[in-house]
Structure 1
Amino acid sequence: MELASCAFGQSSKITPIQVITAVSAIVNGGKLMQPYVVEQVVSPQGDVVQQTEPTVKRQVISEEASATMRQLMQSVVLEGGGRNAYVAGYAVGGKSGTSQKLDSEDDKARVASFIGVAPIEDPRIAVLIVLDEPHTYTTSGGTLAGPVVARVIADALEYYDTPRNYTQAEKERMEAVIPNTTGKNAEHAVAQLQESGFAAKVLGSGDSVVEQYPAAGQTMPRGSTVLLYTEEGMELLATQVPAIDGQSLTQVQASLQGAGLNLVAVGAVQSEEAVAVSQSLQAGESAVMGTAVTVEFRDPTTPPDGDDVQPE
């Protein structure tokens, strides 16, 4: 009896279109679709010359098996090695890939990849990112390619006007518009900000707000602090941006709060292992207190190589 050949992370010998086609069948109720590149050909006059219609080739797995696979792929993003592909408001499923590159002269050469599907409960888009021989501290597909997949999925679904469905935890991190408190009694201004989900800090000995920072109309994460100045001519307080590289979300929040700055967290913020990898304002830079610093978080933890199975 002849056995089919397979590999466990040793090599990847299939094309990106073949990967996309296979994964799409897995999440699409088990229906294997005919892949195509050109959806539509339009004449200079705007007439449709050719239209490609989706074609089902055959049923490769049952709908029940497909539903199970969607759940498993979502758990990869929520709990496994694909946490960097997480997108708030969109249920993302995925799978990482880390394989040796056997046809390379470098025996340490690797190919890192990640494929993401969203919304996983009713898939509309599949995104595959493949990194050929990444030269970094890790070759894990979830760590390296996962964040890129997340950005593409977020941009694509927003382009297609796909609504976001936030969990309760995500809603607590959501943003809100800062109300205008200028001219109002300081106590009333604080109460108004608190009702909108913001914290407030009153500066000066006046009774009314003459200036606020951040300004009214800006969108900020709930829980951000708005500074209320109650005396004419007061200069906006400045502070230094702290170094937060490698810190956890809790540590970053404490560091920025101690400096009088607000945090906009993006990336794998749902993961307890996530750490800060970049910040919009550099450490040591001067900024007005109340300024929002956007910090990207990634989860550096990855599953063992044996968890990444690649067909040969």
Structure 2
Amino acid sequence: MGPVELATLSFGQRFKITPIQLITTVSGLVNDGKLMKPQVVLKEEDTNTGSQKNIGSEEVRQIVSSETSKELRDMLRSVVATGTGRNAEVNGFNVGGKSGTSEPDYSDKSAEYIASFMGVAPTTDPEYAVLVVIRAPKGKSRQGGQVAAPVVSQILKDIFTNTKLVTNTEKTEANANEIKTKDFVGKTVKEVNDIVKAEGINLVLNSKNPDSKVTKQLPRAGTIIDKSGKIYLNTDDSESIKQVEVPDLKKKTREEVINILNSKGLNVSFDGTEGVVMIQDPVPGQIVDTGNVVKVTIKKELAEGH
């Protein structure tokens, strides 16, 4: 092996592994560092008696620490939220991933480009890993983020549709700087106003007819938002809730985020307390209804030279 080959090994070239080896390794890296033995059989059934036996999972070894695994999940999330993997995004869920573009070995005349994308979700507590590999992609792009990532997105959408995974804004407990939204749908304007007076909730309600009923609210009931936010209500006699473009919050402080989103009519849910925005969801430029929640991850920036 020459010096060039040794150098290219550092970013993944010249490795020859199977798809199952790749997805198994990545799954271990995001699974708190626990590498599990891959299996394709869920359970065994005795055709004579009908009895069933579940095939349990088997841990092979710890390949990284749980702390390192958390950092890797954040990195994978940033690839999809703000990087080359945006095409793998699924609105409302924390999808992470990494693109792959294999260049052919030019000494092999039959070799072709391979575009791939490895997706995991949700990055807060991974349950699914999807690997899409496309050999000899046709079209203008050969990049995994352009060719394979959209396929991963669609597969994950289908999975989320058929499971009960909650979206990334559905936290269960509010801290001192947050509130959990109440359910106003079905209530009259008069009932809503009585609640507002009693509890001091920030609402945007366009109708003044006391008998009008709330037909839609954003954020929906039970959503955790920063206490600086507002709940937007639509009634049966008012116009539909307006849509806005999600701004770019990268490198913004907590206070800047609150001011920017308040001016746009959007709410925020923070992950982290100090630093600047590293990850946001939905991504900048996406069109959403007023009142929707933008989830941001705040971290301290590393000092230069580290």
Q: What TM-score results when the alignment is normalised by the length of structure 1?
A: 0.52
- Residue deviations 1:212-269 (CA, integer Å, cap 9, x gap): 34269x94567232256xxxxxx8344696685x8658889867x5xxxx9999xxx9
* Alpha-carbon distance, 1:21 to partner: 1.7
Contact 1:190 1:200 in 2 (8 A): no
Q: Shift of the alpha carbon at 1:201?
A: 3.2
The alignment's C-alpha RMSD in Å is 5.8
Partner of 2:298: none
Aligned residues with identical type, % of pairs? 16
Equivalent position of 1:232 in the other structure = none
Q: Is the 8 A contact 1:34 1:55 kept in 2?
A: yes
Question: Does structure 1 conserve the Cα–Cα contact (< 8 Å) formed by 2:45 and 2:51?
Answer: yes
Distance 1:12 1:101, change over 3 A: farther
Structure-2 separation of matches of 1:43 and 1:87: 40
Q: Residues of 2 paired with 1:101 and 1:219: CA distance?
A: 47
Whichever residue aligns with residue 211 of structure 2, its letter is V
CA contact (8 A) 2:34 2:62 kept: yes
Structure 1: runs of 5 or more not aligned: 229-234, 280-290, 298-312
Counterpart check, 1:21 vs 2:24: yes
How many angstroms apart in 2 are the aligned matches of 1:138 and 1:278? 28
After superposition, the Cα gap between the structure-2 partners of 1:189 and 1:276, relative to the gap in structure 1 and judged at 3 Å, is same
Residue in 2 aligned with 1:182? 188
Distance of 2:282 and 2:291 partners within structure 1: 21
2:231 and 2:291 in contact (8 A); partners too = no
Letter in 2 for 1:191: K
In 2, Cα distance between equivalents of 1:137 and 1:277: 23
Contact 1:178 1:193 in 2 (8 A): no
1:184-199 paired onto structure 2 within 5 Å:
184=190, 187-188=193-194, 190-191=196-197, 195=201, 198-199=203-204
Q: Residue deviations 1:253-308, cap 9 Å, x none?
A: 867x5xxxx9999xxx95289224466xxxxxxxxxxx8798999xxxxxxxxxxx
Return the letter of the residue paired with 1:40: K
Q: Alignment partner of 1:102: what SS? A: coil
Q: 1:94 to 1:200 in 2, by over 3 A?
A: closer
Structure 2 unmatched ranges of 5 or more:
250-256, 270-277, 296-306
Could you tell me the TM-score, scaled by structure 2's length? Answer: 0.53
Is structure 2 residue 229 aligned with structure 1 residue 226?
no
- Give the match for residue 274 of structure 1: 283
Distance 1:137 1:30, change over 3 A: closer
Which residue identity lines up with residue 184 of structure 2 in the other structure? I
Query: Which residue in 2 is equivalent to 1:111?
Result: 115
Q: Counterparts of 1:293 and 1:27 in 2: how far apart (Å)?
A: 32
Q: Which has the higher contact order (CA 8 A, sep 6+)?
A: 1
